[in-house]
Amino acid sequence: MSKLRHRNVSTEGSNAFTGIELKAAEDHAAGLTAVKVALGHVFKEMGVVRSLKTLSHMNQIDGFDCPGCAWPDPEKRSKLGEYCENGAKALSEEATNKEVDANFFKQHSVEDISKWTDYKIGKSGRITQPMILKPGSVYYEPISWKDAYQVVAEHLYKLQSPNEAIFYTSGRSSNEAAFLYGLFARAFGTNNMPDCSNMCHESSGVALSETLGIGKGSVKLEDFDKADVVIVIGQNPGTNHPRMLSALEKCKANGGYVVSINPLAEAGLVRFKNPQEVSGIIGNGHTLADHHLQVRINQDVALLKLIQKKLATLDAVDQMVFDHQFISQYTEGYEAVLSELNTYSEAALLDICGVDEKEVDAVVLLLAKSKNIIICWAMGLTQHKNGVDNIKECVNLLLLKGSLGKPGAGTCPVRGHSNVQGDRTVGIMHYVSKTFNEAVKTTFGFNPPEDMGYDVVKGIQAMYNKKAKVFMALGGNFVSAASDTEYTAKAIQNCELTVQISTKLNRSHCIVGKTALILPTLGRSDQDVINGKQRHFTVENSMGVVHQSKGFLHPISEDIKSEPDIIGGIADAYFKGNHPVNWTLLSSDYDLLREKMGQVVRGFENVNTKSKGRGYYLPNNVRDLDFSRLPNQKAKFTITELPIHDLKADEFLLMSIRSHDQFNTTIYGLNDRYRGVYNERRVLFMNEADMKRYDYKKFDVVNLKSNYKGQERSVFQFLVIPYNIPEGNLAAYYPETNPLIPIDEFAVKSNTPISKSVKVTVEKSITL
């Protein structure tokens, strides 16, 4: 447990064990257990009547969008309920009856709270009133909204340059809130808008923009019904996007195949029982993944090159494997990629990726005869030093097969937070878009700044070096989510002011600047009423559908405000009427806000009307096979290199992953049911051969260390458990392992921390 300056707070909380139990890893996802577990969580937090009523509105047309992941809703919504176990958990977490109020903060100092586990902190409840932590104090005190806004305004005035302020966003915010927040940051004069996606799908955005001209995926939900093959690579949908399993199921029902590429044999991809079908409840479910390629951590480029090389050999015979018509009409760089593949031997690639050759060959044959291929991916590809290249190799494969811009084919980066894609679309970005800025100028009458802002990593470094002094967060849990926890904590503590606009309590409310504010906000499921009229907002899902979302629950407190109202309040206090934008009007009238958004953001014209009902698809050039935005008006094949890790003899590659009972830093519970781990998060998944080699027994207590550029970082007290994971690879949960990830180790071009390939050593813990 580490102690930090000016308040004696902990970055980690308690690392005491909670009573581990292991069972066989489940070989299927969903099924009746999922329904039971889901309802158990919801009833406990919300009560039975309130839960059932609320759940019946989730993901329904005219209801509210699930606060969980960004997976889209189907055209037809099931009356039985259109949500999964983890959606229900996300709702119960947000809509809990428990309150974090002034009394709570009187009883618990930030020092005390910080020593709790993330699980315990999160379970405290919903924050019900604005609070301030004054310099030197360890107890938050109540503050009025007006005074809170004034505190922010005064700190902003004191800055020597607008670039000393940082405006972070997490992907739960609505389009309206994110647009207004970005507008305020620009009006204030900075592009310092780091976003959770910098730690998430930024590598996808960079790779897809460079190769295909749009930083988003191209498939629609119905494409899964038409695909010959869906490849799921570096993603664990059974836990993180559970309703995606229904889409995979449909693909298979229509004769398609599913291929999983993952160091772990994740439950959802192996077998799946659909609780909405009787057969799913009483039967055994059915196999989802027809092939599982158990790749070594971060050796996907080797595997993808091997697959392409083998496909090229087959194509050389009859020119029937690749889509040569597509390649010549729409792409550039094909010959270069093919000759680069020739520089590798199949044996070498096979050896590097560690996959069984028979399995690779089976997949190659399948791909050779398939025309419509979808590739889905998530953090298993993006969070590596070569995250951008990982995705470029996926694009190469799709280009070879002409699997873009037609039904049943395309790119599918599966997004994390429910509106992370929308937040970026409406202007949360640290880089500068000339067209966006010009539209802001025309619509609002001020000049947005033109210098590049900080992303997450650069923002942390700026705070650490005291170049930034005010940190504001529209949602999220920055300290726990970012890499290099100790460094990040110190960076935050260097700030003069930190402001958290939050629904629930988390560690980032304890590890704060000299002055800290908590501004409580409405969640997805809450009714947003002003002057007796209910407002709704819009979100964009992972497939570019913009639709409306309308809360259902009466808010837990009268003293909570909507995100736009809070941003408007801050902007008003800062500008005091001396600005071309009427912030009070714009923030309170969402219809007006949307109208203005339509004048600035491409695809948002008439969003007020178009977003009603099922919503509408935003423009997507890949769907139209229009690559005119790219330098040579062609989609681009790219050449990538194999990643080099230079592991020392005793070093492992560690991936930090999510358990089944968490949403990022929010811990729903202590079980990882699908992997068979119960009542404990401090576990280290290790191959049995490695355990033998290093003489580890099940439940041995170990510490993990990373050593980059001579700097040692450690986390303590993890229980070794034998698991089906490639030799030399390890897995443990995020955020417990974040202190091991150096701040300056991130993906080339996207700056995404290397959360999935951290070099570590393991040592037995000496317990006294």
Ligand X SMILES: Nc1nc2c(c(=O)[nH]1)N[C@H]1C(S)=C(S)[C@@H](COP(=O)(O)OP(=O)(O)OC[C@H]3O[C@@H](n4cnc5c(=O)[nH]c(N)nc54)[C@H](O)[C@@H]3O)O[C@H]1N2
Give the footprint of ligand X on residues 57-86 (CB under 6 A): 68-69, 86
652 binds, among ligand X, Mo ion, ligand SF4, none (CB under 5 to 8 A by kind): none
Contact characters 198-237, Mo ion, x per CB under 5 A: --x-------------------------------------
Q: Which residue has the tokens 């969640």?
A: 523
- What's the rounded Cα separation, in Å, for the pair 31 and 276? 9
Residue 44 structure tokens = 């406990």
71 binds, among ligand SF4, Mo ion, ligand X, none (CB under 5 to 8 A by kind): ligand SF4
Under the criterion CB under 6 A, does residue 241 sit at the interface with ligand SF4? yes
CA 493 to chain centre: 25
563 binds, among ligand SF4, ligand X, Mo ion, none (CB under 5 to 8 A by kind): ligand X
On whether the CB atoms of residues 304 and 268 are closer than 8 A, the answer is no
Shortest distance in whole angstroms from residue 565 CB to ligand X: 12
In Å, what is the CA distance from 546 to each residue of 55, 86, 517, 751? 21, 22, 32, 28
- Choose between 538 and 755: whose C-beta lies nearer to ligand X: 755
Under the criterion CB under 6 A, does residue 245 sit at the interface with ligand SF4? no
Under the criterion CB under 6 A, does residue 506 sit at the interface with ligand X? yes
Under the criterion CB under 6 A, does residue 239 sit at the interface with ligand X? yes
Binding span for ligand SF4 by CB under 6 A among 62-70, 121-129, 600-608, 626-634: 62-70
Shortest distance in whole angstroms from residue 577 CB to ligand X: 26
Q: Out of 119, 478, 674, 718, name the contact with ligand X by CB under 6 A.
A: 478
172 binds, among ligand SF4, ligand X, Mo ion, none (CB under 5 to 8 A by kind): ligand X
Binding span for ligand X by CB under 6 A among 100-108, 533-541, 664-672, 760-768: 664-672
- What's the rounded Cα separation, in Å, for the pair 593 and 564? 10
Shortest distance in whole angstroms from residue 96 CB to ligand SF4: 17
Under the criterion CB under 5 A, does residue 416 sit at the interface with Mo ion? yes
Q: Out of 13, 182, 416, 427, name the contact with ligand X by CB under 6 A.
A: 416
Under the criterion CB under 6 A, does residue 420 sit at the interface with ligand SF4? no
Under the criterion CB under 5 A, does residue 422 sit at the interface with Mo ion? no
- Choose between 300 and 745: whose C-beta lies nearer to ligand X: 300
CA dihedral 145, 147, 149, 151 (to 10 degrees): -140
Phi, psi of 656 (to 5 degrees): -100, 120
User: DSSP for 576-603?
Assistant: TT-SSS-HHHHHH-HHHHHHHHHHHSTT
Under the criterion CB under 6 A, does residue 416 sit at the interface with ligand SF4? no
DSSP 8-state code for residue 65? -
- Choose between 655 and 720: whose C-beta lies nearer to ligand X: 655
Count of positions on this chain that bind ligand X (CB under 6 A): 62
Under the criterion CB under 6 A, does residue 666 sit at the interface with ligand X? yes
Q: Which residues pair with 474 in a beta bridge?
A: 169, 501
115 binds, among ligand SF4, Mo ion, ligand X, none (CB under 5 to 8 A by kind): none
Helix or strand or coil: residue 534?
strand
Under the criterion CB under 6 A, does residue 668 sit at the interface with ligand SF4? no
Q: Out of 29, 46, 66, 741, name the contact with ligand SF4 by CB under 6 A.
A: 66
Q: Out of 34, 153, 270, 297, name the contact with ligand X by CB under 6 A.
A: 297
378 binds, among Mo ion, ligand SF4, ligand X, none (CB under 5 to 8 A by kind): ligand X
- Choose between 70 and 341: whose C-beta lies nearer to ligand X: 70
Q: Out of 71, 436, 574, 590, name the contact with ligand SF4 by CB under 6 A.
A: 71
Under the criterion CB under 6 A, does residue 243 sit at the interface with ligand SF4? yes
The answer for residues whose C-beta is within 8 angstroms of residue 228's C-beta and 6 or more apart is 255, 256, 257, 370, 371, 372, 373, 408
- Choose between 84 and 132: whose C-beta lies nearer to ligand X: 84
Binding span for ligand X by CB under 6 A among 205-213, 260-268, 457-465, 704-712: 260-268
Under the criterion CB under 6 A, does residue 419 sit at the interface with ligand X? no
- Examine residue 735 and say whether the peptide bond preceding it is cis (omega within 30 degrees of 0): yes
Pairing of strands 29-30, 271-273: parallel
- What's the rounded Cα separation, in Å, for the pair 313 and 322? 11
Under the criterion CB under 6 A, does residue 601 sit at the interface with ligand SF4? no
- What's the rounded Cα separation, in Å, for the pair 654 and 241? 23
CA dihedral 555, 559, 560, 565 (to 10 degrees): 120
The answer for residues whose C-beta is within 8 angstroms of residue 174's C-beta and 6 or more apart is 419, 422, 537, 538, 539, 549, 563, 564
In Å, what is the CA distance from 60 to each residue of 241, 277, 597, 705? 18, 19, 25, 47
Contact characters 72-111, Mo ion, x per CB under 5 A: ----------------------------------------
Nearest Cα residue to 590 out of 503, 522, 501, 504: 522
- What's the rounded Cα separation, in Å, for the pair 230 and 394? 12
Shortest distance in whole angstroms from residue 42 CB to ligand X: 14
- Choose between 59 and 548: whose C-beta lies nearer to ligand SF4: 59
Helix or strand or coil: residue 683?
strand
Count of positions on this chain that bind Mo ion (CB under 5 A): 2
Under the criterion CB under 6 A, does residue 68 sit at the interface with ligand SF4? yes
- What's the rounded Cα separation, in Å, for the pair 474 and 149? 14
Nearest Cα residue to 93 out of 439, 503, 424: 503
- Choose between 275 and 416: whose C-beta lies nearer to Mo ion: 416
Shortest distance in whole angstroms from residue 381 CB to Mo ion: 13
Q: Out of 242, 402, 568, 739, name the contact with ligand SF4 by CB under 6 A.
A: 242
Q: Out of 474, 573, 600, 743, name the contact with ligand X by CB under 6 A.
A: 474
The answer for residues whose C-beta is within 8 angstroms of residue 292's C-beta and 6 or more apart is 259, 260, 261, 262, 265, 269, 270, 359
Element (H, E) at 314: helix 300-318
- Choose between 172 and 675: whose C-beta lies nearer to Mo ion: 172
Nearest Cα residue to 228 out of 88, 324, 343, 372: 372
CA 631 to chain centre: 30
11 binds, among ligand X, ligand SF4, Mo ion, none (CB under 5 to 8 A by kind): none
Q: Out of 37, 264, 397, 457, name the contact with ligand X by CB under 6 A.
A: 264
Q: Out of 83, 168, 537, 718, name the contact with ligand SF4 by CB under 6 A.
A: 83
Helix axes 563-575, 175-188, angle to 10 degrees: 20
Helices (H), 531-650: 563-575, 583-588, 590-600, 607-610
CA 371 to chain centre: 30
Residue 671 structure tokens = 């079980």
User: How many other β-carbons are positioned within 10 Å of the β-carbon of residue 744?
Assistant: 14
On whether the CB atoms of residues 383 and 753 are closer than 8 A, the answer is yes
474 binds, among ligand SF4, Mo ion, ligand X, none (CB under 5 to 8 A by kind): ligand X
- What's the rounded Cα separation, in Å, for the pair 168 and 474? 6
- What's the rounded Cα separation, in Å, for the pair 630 and 638? 13
Shortest distance in whole angstroms from residue 416 CB to ligand SF4: 10
Residue 628 structure tokens = 């005119």
Under the criterion CB under 6 A, does residue 201 sit at the interface with ligand SF4? no
Shortest distance in whole angstroms from residue 127 CB to ligand SF4: 23
Q: Where on the chain is the footprint of ligand SF4 (CB under 6 A)?
A: 59, 66, 68-69, 71, 83-84, 86-87, 90, 241-243
Q: Where on the chain is the footprint of ligand X (CB under 6 A)?
A: 68-69, 86, 170, 172-173, 196, 199-200, 233-236, 239-241, 261-264, 266, 295, 297-298, 300, 378-380, 383, 416-417, 474-478, 481, 501-504, 506, 521, 523-524, 563, 655-658, 662-666, 734-735, 737-738, 741, 755-756
Q: Where on the chain is the footprint of Mo ion (CB under 5 A)?
A: 200, 416
